[in-house]
A and B are shown apart, each in its own frame.
Chain A
């Protein structure tokens, strides 16, 4: 019994069409609220974690142990005046943060969350091609970046947007090829050889993972994780908003909550990316008693991945733009193609 059916049953007196509509809506809101709260907790953890490493105390004023600091920051951002630059392209200027924000939010709806004790399965999108869908949604990010870059006629924003798009394009390819290797490995069960679940859907890939694919395909895990962190613009790769040369890149001319939306997009991307990696490579909600605790497993794996990315954030300097693009095209792309060949040989012989 999953959450969707449960909600559907409550509203079944309205007829199947309406009740399913309401069920989808309510479940999406439920999941997004959960993601939002956990996301705020994550920002709090990040700030405390960073403060420990940097010999600081971190937030400790608002609420007990500073737990409400993130909420206070959100209210502060909303309350601030949003300064509009004079010679902007108005529609593009207003649309850009929304695209970044909505892309991240929609992506969270596609993730299969596994099941949690009473609620049953929390997965919202029951589609056969959720993997393709997720890549499709993520490919909207560069559009938001380039709109933000060109709409304000600022040199900093333009350079930042160019870097942002270079980043997205150069790291999407190795990411896709690594995912392709996973689709191949996942297409047959390597114990019985029988075709099992649909390997184009994220849920199917998780069901097929008797042992985590990260063990079978560690190279792919590495490439995918690096590309994901790079696409989330986390510090070794935060060229698009590198504060030392380009102020904040394509977000330079934004203020108030519009800037906050970019910020949510950035942190949301690393959170989402960690979900993505733990689904493809770490077996997501698989584990003992997964029908009750599946969601917890997924969550723990994701948080560990996010913390690793945080560690990189606080300890590494920023890579230079040409070296960065080289990393994508000269190293990750060839390695991911080798990885694809390896996956093919694996499916052919070791199965």
Chain B
């Protein structure tokens, strides 16, 4: 009879946000150690990318962080555009920005809902998903897809914004500000929410840097690092937005930070809608018939701020129509590796809340 209980959470468990396995060494209910096993959703996306022409790889990026597909596509497409020298027209870039921010909101809403579920709160989940549904309706209008959108393409976007889409987005952003406050209040005014999260999942800034953590998790530890601000892509340097940070370092800090970032996203969307110019939405050099002959040479690394943090794509071309190598720097992979540090010495219920607060997407970890 050993002193420890080994509890196996996953790969199929109601609150692990996908198929991920945690082997938790418990002393009564106190966590001694956490052992993470990944790879249950490995689909070999990076290798498959070497077999296709550049334009056909976008769908594999949709399915990495399946909740934040626009930003995944954006990461790959900006890399390929750098490699092949095909520029997207200005209007397309503004459209990409709007879509990226909308999808960031959608992904955050899923994260918040699941965070509530992890604590046993059922109600916010449905409210979050009702809002996400509106975003997905906009996606369907623009691209035909709800989640795996395949919208951002090399040299532009799949389809231009029409009046209806712009009006839908305006209406959504108007209503969403109030709905976001409702969702925020559902959590923050609950005494039990504070009891569950106050001082739980402390991540020190130096530990976060050592593990290569990015995104809300890093900003929640008090380091203002956001790719949109520090290495602006698209037109993020032409809109006003703030990068919030939290010095609490715990779950509460990260939660409030995520809500504040959603407010900033809405701010960006509003500015984009005002600034979006007329013009072509597609570069004629990247027409479908020409894509078969587009060749890339050299190596590029492009990075975007996805929902989970810094999403980097490395593409290397050998002057053929197919990439020689594609590699992805996955933020969720780095973020999940810090869980054992955060959970040690806490209770099993806290581990679940910490995983919920990090909000990983397994598709992106395993690729």
Contacts and interface: CB of A to CB of B under 8 A. Distances in A.
A180 to B, nearest CB: 29
Interface string A215-244: 000000000000000000001101100111
Given A155-B7, A245-B15, A315 B123 contact: yes
Interface stretch (A26-34, A282-290, A320-328): A320-328
A26 B196 CA distance: 50
B200 to A, nearest CB: 9
B346 to A, nearest CB: 10
B116 A317 contact: yes
Interface stretch (A53-61, A109-117, A261-269): A53-61
A237 to B, nearest CB: 10
Interface string A36-57: 0000000000000010011110
Interface in B322-354: 347-352
B99 to A, nearest CB: 25
Given A55-B130, A159-B29, A316-B190, A245 B122 contact: no
Contacts of A314: 122-123
A318 interface: yes
Contacts of B120: 235, 238, 242-244, 316-318
Contacts, number: 83
Given A155-B7, A317-B190, A322 B347 contact: yes
A25 B349 CA distance: 46
Contacts of A159: 5, 7, 29, 348
A48 to B, nearest CB: 14
Contacts of B186: 315
Contacts of B350: 320
Interface string B155-177: 00000000000000000000000
A243 B127 CA distance: 20
Interface in B27-42: 29
Given A318-B119, A321-B29, A55 B126 contact: yes
Interface string B1-26: 00001111100011100000000000
Interface in B77-124: 116-123
Contact of A245 (B121, B192, B348): B348
Interface residues of A, number: 27
A71 interface: no
Contacts of B126: 54-56
B348 to A, nearest CB: 5
A218 to B, nearest CB: 20
Interface string B237-263: 000000000000000000000000000
B193 interface: yes
A244 B122 CA distance: 11
A329 to B, nearest CB: 16
A323 B348 CA distance: 13
Interface in A128-155: 155
Contacts of A236: 192
B195 interface: yes
A244 B114 CA distance: 10
Nearest to B355: A244
B349 A245 contact: yes
A54 B125 CA distance: 8
B198 to A, nearest CB: 11
A238 B29 CA distance: 16
A335 interface: no
Contacts of A315: 121, 123, 186, 190
A139 to B, nearest CB: 25
A55 B127 contact: yes
B14 A320 contact: no
B163 to A, nearest CB: 29
B352 A245 contact: yes
A243 B7 contact: no
A247 interface: yes
A316 B195 contact: no
A55 B7 CA distance: 36
A319 interface: yes
A238 B118 CA distance: 13
A316 B192 CA distance: 7
B121 A316 contact: yes
A135 B120 CA distance: 29
Given A236-B192, A245-B348, A245-B352, A54 B122 contact: yes
Contacts of A243: 14-15, 120
Point out which of A239, A245, A319, A322 has the most chain B C-beta atoms below 10 A from its C-beta.
A245
Given A243-B120, A244-B118, 8 more contacts: A236-B192, A315-B121, A317-B116, A317-B190, A317-B193, A317-B196, A318-B121, A321-B29
24 contacts: A54-B123, A55-B127, A159-B5, A159-B7, A159-B29, A238-B120, A242-B349, A245-B15, A314-B122, A315-B121, A315-B186, A317-B116, A317-B119, A317-B120, A317-B192, A317-B193, A318-B120, A318-B121, A318-B192, A318-B349, A320-B350, A321-B349, A322-B347, A323-B195
Interface of B: 5-9, 13-15, 29, 116-123, 125-127, 130, 186, 190, 192-193, 195-196, 347-352
Q: Which 6 A-B pairs rank lowest in CB-CB distance, beginning with the nearest?
A: A318-B120, A317-B119, A54-B126, A244-B15, A317-B121, A245-B352
